[in-house]
Every structure is written in C-alpha cells, then in structure tokens.
Amino acid sequence: MMITCVYFCAGGVGFLYILYRWVIPATVRQALVLMWHDVILEMLMDRITGSTRPQRILRAVKMNAARGNPCSVVKAIDDYCKHKEWAMNVGDEKGCIVDSVVSEVKPTTVLELGTYCAYSTVRIANLLPPNAKFITLEFNTDYAAIAREVINWAGFQDKIQLVEGASGEWIPRLKEEFGVETFDFIFLDHWKDRYLPDTKLLEASIHATSCNAESVTNSPNKCVYIISEMWTSERRHRFAGRQCHLPWNS
C-alpha cells in the first residue's frame, strides 16, 4: 500500500511537471511563478514574521550594509533576495544591463518611475556625477517610507529626490516643480499597464524623444533612454554579453 501511494504521488508530480514544462505556455508559467513568490510566499512570510517584505529588506540592509556605502547596500539587497526571499527588484543580472547603459549614456538628469525599496535607485545613483538631478516617483506610501530609509542609509539623501504620488499626476508637473526641461535617462519599473500612457505623457510634457532599449547602442542622436522590465528576451540578449566591472561585482 505504501509503495502504491509513493508511485501514485511520484506519477502525479511527474504529470504536473510535464504540464508545467511543456504544455502550459511560458507566459502562464511566469504568471504562476510570480503568484507563488509575490502572493503566496509573501503572505506566508508576512504572517510568520509579523512584518512586510520591504521591512525585511530594510532590516537586511541595516544589518549587513555599511552606512554611507551604496555598494554594500546593493549587495545586501542582492544577497537577501538571492538567499532569503525573492523580491520584485531589478536584480544583479538585469542590474548589470542597467549599469552598462547608465555608464554609456552618462546622464545628468534621471527619472525613475517605481521606487519600491530603492534598489535600482541606489544602483543608478551610484553611477551618476555629483551634480546630477535624480527624481524617483513611488505611488505606494509604505514602499516610499522604506525606500527613503534605504536611500538615507546609502548616503544619497541629498542626491535623490523621492516623490510620493501617481505618475500620471506628477509627470505633467515635473517641469514646474523641479525645473527639469528634459531627462537624459528614464527608468520605468512601476505598473506595467502605465508604461505606454506614461511614456506618451512624458513625451508630451517634457518634449523628449524616446528610444527603446534596442536602439540604445545604435542611435547617434542624443535622446532620452527609456528602459523597462518589459524588454523582450532578444533585447536583453543584446546586453547579456556585457561584463560589469563595477564596485559591487568586484
């Protein structure tokens, strides 16, 4: 009876794996993985620890990163998300792509839509010149509170302007509120359904020319570079061969 039960369970697991690996479309698999990590496991961890995921990330930063050292902040978040708990950060692999583009473009005015826990915020800010203007928008007030602490821990409180509110409301006000005529670099990492409307709103509000990720290395014209988490695998592959020779990778 026990052997039969084991065979039955093994067969069921094998059947589910076949469904997941070869029958269910890739987009659905990605959605299932995201649901597992970003809903089920997060709710379970929140219940067990009595804290939220952003709070746990902040705790990891304060425990493992040196205050005023942005490289150690990035590494602390990478280590936590790699070994402890998945989070919706850019991560080190795609972070290398962002690093490469920022280093190539050398922007002095930067806009980020979607701060979350300030992982990409700190990562980008660390590559900017001292006189750069960096504005990051976050809609969720709880995320913004955590992000502000992470930014302060990295020592970038005077370099980064964190703005709380909806992108659709703030984008038309950027020029008036911050005196920014255009941006050299724009990073989209917020709600996916806001990418297109916010891109159009940016073009209308700051009169900028938008370039997609594929044209970053080929365009001879100075323009605004817009990078998003919605890159296709082909576009990511164009940058995958680039090596990161940056402080947190040494």
pLDDT value of residue 157: 96
3-state secondary structure 108-139: CEEEEECCCCCHHHHHHHCCCCCCCEEEEEEC
Both tokens of 93, joined, read 């692999």
pLDDT value of residue 24: 57
pLDDT digits (tens, 9 = 90+) for 47-73: 888 889 999 999 999 999 999 999 999
Q: Are 225 and 101 in contact (CB under 8 A)?
A: yes
Distance CA 201, CA 190 (A): 15
Give CA angle at 133 (128, 137), nearest 5°. Answer: 105
Beta-carbon count within 10 A of 123 CB: 27
Query: What are the Cα distances from residue 34, in Å, to 38, 48, 80, 174?
Result: 6, 20, 18, 33
Q: Are 178 and 133 in contact (CB under 8 A)?
A: yes
pLDDT digits (tens, 9 = 90+) for 172-205: 999 899 988 888 888 888 877 888 888 888 878 7
Residue 235 exposed, middle or buried by CB count within 10 Å (0-12, 13-18, 19+): middle
Q: Are 173 and 179 in contact (CB under 8 A)?
A: no
Both tokens of 61, joined, read 């930063």
Q: Which amino acid is at 100?
A: S
Residue 227 bridge partners (DSSP) = 187
Question: What's phi and psi for 36, nearest 5 deg?
Answer: -65, -50
pLDDT value of residue 15: 47
Distance CA 133, CA 90 (A): 21
Which stretches of the chain drop beneath a pLDDT of 70? 1-39, 41-42, 207-250
Distance CA 93, CA 4 (A): 44
Q: What pTM does this model have?
A: 0.73
* DSSP for residue 244: -
Beta-carbon count within 10 A of 227 CB: 27
Compute, in degrees rounded to 10, the torsion defined by CA atoms 101, 106, 108, 112: 10
Distance CA 160, CA 135 (A): 6
